[in-house]
Structure 1
């Protein structure tokens, strides 16, 4: 048996389509690296170009991914760096061909072997896949959870000819990527693989893991999850940012690196010359991002992260261990997008005195006019969302100003326009001091939107493969080899998710006198979207002098009922459902609130449609915190 190889160094270059191509090049030249991975695909952006691609007016791939490849091919060839990205989006073969032509132009045809992964596009079969089962249930992601109440209009697109399905892409694992690297690929262009799959495929290739090395694969899944969102583990989207010097630590930060060893454990770090911070806290917060409980799913493995531990082992170096792997489920996620109709929005401002009554007046005027015109039934969603609270005894007019967001969705653009027309019809009857933009092009301009249906598909339905291009000087690249990937040999059905309130909680009275302060004074948090659901995880601030006792208080305090109380007016009985688990090694409490994002993603009416602000909302809620926890260590003592 071959001796274990050194840890593989995998650097991320993207967590969204907007991350510039410069980052790929930066990762390649800023220090030693073996593989660069990039996750360019959010849930919706793959589908947003689907119709334009089908009509031949869009290349189908992500522009920033192509920009990064153009800037990085030469240095990747010189330094023998592998590149694995999902920036191929709807057209991974097209981007692979484009990449091969660029390699030819640069004289690198004999130094770069280019491959692409396909099999995620299930649009031709989607009607058959979405057939109800024997019990009449659609293959919805949350269909097996009897506590979850799906909105009544969840599946109305199936019977509405206006709501054409435009994209249906399965979340693939890392096995095709691994097969491509095994066969000598230097660059692997993917479509909709799961966010962590490029890291998993690269680690499995490097360490020669078998498909049933589930503990190792689970460790790589955790590593991939930690670095998949570009800057989120090096200081971006970090609740503890207020403890750092912005100019010194949080400007122009670099993307992370995962050093994954033969056991699957990893060290999260970054290139020394790049800015940013990698601490136990940044790693904990990213670990808690976009989870659905204690089991993290991928089509190659289920990772039980209950006992994942993080430990600072050096400056900007955090060891992550403790993931436990199990066989993957027989299904994988399938993101289905369809023409949802049209939506529009506009905002008006109110200043100062009697603001709630002002907004009551505007809403009443609009709804009354729509009723008179008998067009209420044409509108699917009509919300008047009040954003902000005017400062008491304001020190400036801006501090006295808030806005009302009028959000509309309907099957037709004309129905959306009618809401604006109802407002305009009563315009000069407006409340005192109403304001807003004078550019009427920005007001209730109907735009098409995509509806989202998170589905499941059996893995044995997939026809996954990795394909190789032949390239030679002056010739157009052609497909020369195809390696088909079978469904996982061993699978294991999903079990009901764990859901429990604190086991043996301490009485809150035992923690001593309290003070009403924002929860964020003692806790960090991270939240995100999982379709229609929002997740949030909390962990004590490391700066607290009584960190272990703070953890015991936090886990005792944060119950399912407490989250409902803290959500206040946002909580909807009968529509929402909450699950709770704990991660004792990282001292974290995690929740999923089902239904809180409406239909989710591109079809959500929420201002915070991706759930990223949910954690910061809850951290701003005032709660009774034991006074002894408000004494803190200095920041320098823990870096």
Structure 2
């Protein structure tokens, strides 16, 4: 925060401090008075930067308030008073639905609607509703937070707030709010709001768009990527934006870094927020100078009537036993070890295990040059509601499981709150979107007229010709690809079909999964959502790559038949 405030001119500083897991990890401790509720790093940043914020007139909107935005706002207000700075502090509330939905999880599936339930092509995984199978006893809820949009923040800014502390607003909402307020848009300027939503999406993950987690990083000077600078979104009155960064900071911004980050954690070709639905099929990405990329072509429409609600509960216990073996006969060693473990786990314990998986990672190198090259791993994962059952397999390790459900936006009472003195808080309701628009069936299609190549082919790795990004959406995984060379787009478009994706997933494919495919022709990208592959999702996925971040390079490392004539 301090670097962004001091290295150049900015009008707003926004910050995304939350993943779903932050809230769940700290919720119990916060309710028991053993955690402050907010993210300590958010407080650290404000302490370091508050003088510069006041001096330069920078507005700040962050979601570092986490479980208790009021608590952080009070600390900031005390700091501002101590320093005698002319700053007005506000905090946003309304996202915490635990008082409404808690203290226990539902006892039937009908009480909450799963986020993917509107998609008739996919069925939530078996363990999605694991909280229902608890012998008739209710399962305590840990936390329930709805993802808020930008309107409450805008209300605060319009009423004079310099710093707005939020809890679980959507990652891009602070950026939408900044542009909405700055350009004085109305709430039905959907194209403009949608453009700012994508601007927020591009800069929400710190340095991802400036070279961090970049698929093509290995073709650049690694020294330039050691400490990449954070990005800046310059949002125009029409909603188009230029992504840039402070001059002199490390990292870089080009069409490839922007396209990679654009493809991150999408929902197909419609990106949803509580205030607007962004239609992104015709997105355009253009170079606009050194470390400057222009994004346009985004269109908007009213938001859906629901918003995501992340709900956590005590799922029980999880443990992993990580073992390694080296060299000759490794496969047989793992065969024997699995037989031994299954033999010595008592039958009554086995019945109490929800999950017992033996996951083999790696293949020993042929003619290895070092022991490391010859070493592979076996990951034994066990989960159970019974601590003793998990201890019987490995050392017990508590964890909290995650599920996303949707709640009606109209049921949320969102307020903006101002600290107007030591014992005075002024509260204003922020209302709801003027109208909603139910979601249509998601687009899902293979290429209509794929280009055929009749020349000879050569085996190459897909990553030699394609870049992209992958990530998680609860229990679902998204992955997008685009060619390094624009001339290869017709080949990639025709090659990357739904059937091809099933083939590339390989042994991890299960017939319960479902694939959606769309294209972004203006940026030469094809995008997939694979429903169900991450199982319970995030904190309780049984996959080693539970967040889906490494899936892209797993697929890029596979060999494909590529036409020699265009290689």
TM-score, normalisation: structure 2: 0.97
Q: Which of the numbers 65, 69, 79 marks the counterpart of 1:88?
A: 65
SS of residue paired to 2:331: helix
Q: Which of the numbers 534, 553, 558 marks the counterpart of 2:477?
A: 534
State the partner residue of 1:252. 227
What is the alpha-carbon distance in structure 1 between the residues aligned to residue 499 and residue 140 of structure 2?
40
- The reply to whether residue 292 of structure 1 matches residue 292 of structure 2 is no
Q: Relative to 1, partners in 2 of residues 1:131 and 1:407: Cα closer, same or farther, differing over 3 Å?
A: closer
State the partner residue of 1:619. 556
Q: Which of the numbers 170, 190, 195 marks the counterpart of 1:219?
A: 195
What is the alpha-carbon distance in structure 2 between the residues aligned to residue 345 and residue 361 of structure 1?
18
Q: How far off is 1:143 after superposition?
A: 1.0
SS of residue paired to 1:492: coil
- The reply to whether residue 318 of structure 1 matches residue 293 of structure 2 is yes
Q: How far off is 1:137 after superposition?
A: 7.9
Q: Which of the numbers 324, 327, 337 marks the counterpart of 1:362?
A: 337
Please tell me whether the aligned partners of residues 467 and 479 of structure 1 are also in contact (alpha carbons under 8 angstroms).
Answer: no
* Deviation digits for residues 268-304 of structure 1 (CA, Å, limit 9, x no counterpart): 0000121111000000010000011000000000000
* Deviation digits for residues 420-444 of structure 1 (CA, Å, limit 9, x no counterpart): 3xxxxxxxxxxxxxxxxxxxxxxxx
- The reply to whether residue 309 of structure 1 matches residue 284 of structure 2 is yes
What is the alpha-carbon distance in structure 1 between the residues aligned to residue 115 and residue 347 of structure 2?
39
Q: How far off is 1:106 after superposition?
A: 2.1
State the partner residue of 1:563. 501
Q: Which of the numbers 534, 537, 546 marks the counterpart of 1:597?
A: 534
Q: How far off is 1:149 after superposition?
A: 2.2
Moved over 4 A (4+): 127-133, 135-138
Q: How far off is 1:374 after superposition?
A: 3.1
Equivalences for residues 188-227 of structure 1 within 5 A: 188-227=164-203
* Deviation digits for residues 569-598 of structure 1 (CA, Å, limit 9, x no counterpart): 01011x200000000011100000000101
* Deviation digits for residues 108-155 of structure 1 (CA, Å, limit 9, x no counterpart): 1xx11000000000012216998699x958400111222212222311
Q: Which of the numbers 438, 444, 448 marks the counterpart of 1:493?
A: 438
- The reply to whether residue 68 of structure 1 matches residue 11 of structure 2 is no
What is the alpha-carbon distance in structure 2 between the residues aligned to residue 131 and residue 398 of structure 1?
48
Q: How far off is 1:105 after superposition?
A: 2.2
Q: How far off is 1:226 after superposition?
A: 0.3
Over aligned residues, Cα RMSD in angstroms? 1.6
Q: Relative to 1, partners in 2 of residues 1:311 and 1:335: Cα closer, same or farther, differing over 3 Å?
A: same
Please tell me whether the aligned partners of residues 329 and 494 of structure 1 are also in contact (alpha carbons under 8 angstroms).
Answer: yes
Aligned residues: 565
SS of residue paired to 2:128: coil
SS of residue paired to 2:127: coil
- The reply to whether residue 28 of structure 1 matches residue 8 of structure 2 is no
Equivalences for residues 505-584 of structure 1 within 5 A: 505-507=450-452, 509-510=453-454, 512-541=455-484, 544=485, 547=486, 549-573=487-511, 575-584=512-521
SS of residue paired to 2:266: coil
Q: How far off is 1:482 after superposition?
A: 1.2
Q: How far off is 1:373 after superposition?
A: 4.5
Q: How far off is 1:356 after superposition?
A: 1.2
SS of residue paired to 1:28: helix
- The reply to whether residue 464 of structure 1 matches residue 439 of structure 2 is no
Please tell me whether the aligned partners of residues 132 and 138 of structure 1 are also in contact (alpha carbons under 8 angstroms).
Answer: no
Please tell me whether the aligned partners of residues 163 and 341 of structure 1 are also in contact (alpha carbons under 8 angstroms).
Answer: no
TM-score, normalisation: structure 1: 0.86
What is the alpha-carbon distance in structure 1 between the residues aligned to residue 338 and residue 264 of structure 2?
36
What is the alpha-carbon distance in structure 1 between the residues aligned to residue 503 and residue 301 of structure 2?
36
Q: Relative to 1, partners in 2 of residues 1:69 and 1:176: Cα closer, same or farther, differing over 3 Å?
A: same
Q: Which of the numbers 135, 140, 143 marks the counterpart of 2:117?
A: 143
- The reply to whether residue 502 of structure 1 matches residue 452 of structure 2 is no
What is the alpha-carbon distance in structure 2 between the residues aligned to residue 482 and residue 294 of structure 1?
37
Please tell me whether the aligned partners of residues 84 and 188 of structure 1 are also in contact (alpha carbons under 8 angstroms).
Answer: yes
Please tell me whether the aligned partners of residues 106 and 132 of structure 2 are also in contact (alpha carbons under 8 angstroms).
Answer: no
Please tell me whether the aligned partners of residues 30 and 36 of structure 2 are also in contact (alpha carbons under 8 angstroms).
Answer: yes
SS of residue paired to 2:354: strand
What is the alpha-carbon distance in structure 2 between the residues aligned to residue 299 and residue 155 of structure 1?
25
SS of residue paired to 1:524: strand
Which shifted more, 411-420 or 34-43? 411-420
Q: Relative to 1, partners in 2 of residues 1:122 and 1:158: Cα closer, same or farther, differing over 3 Å?
A: farther
What is the alpha-carbon distance in structure 2 between the residues aligned to residue 309 and residue 129 of structure 1?
46
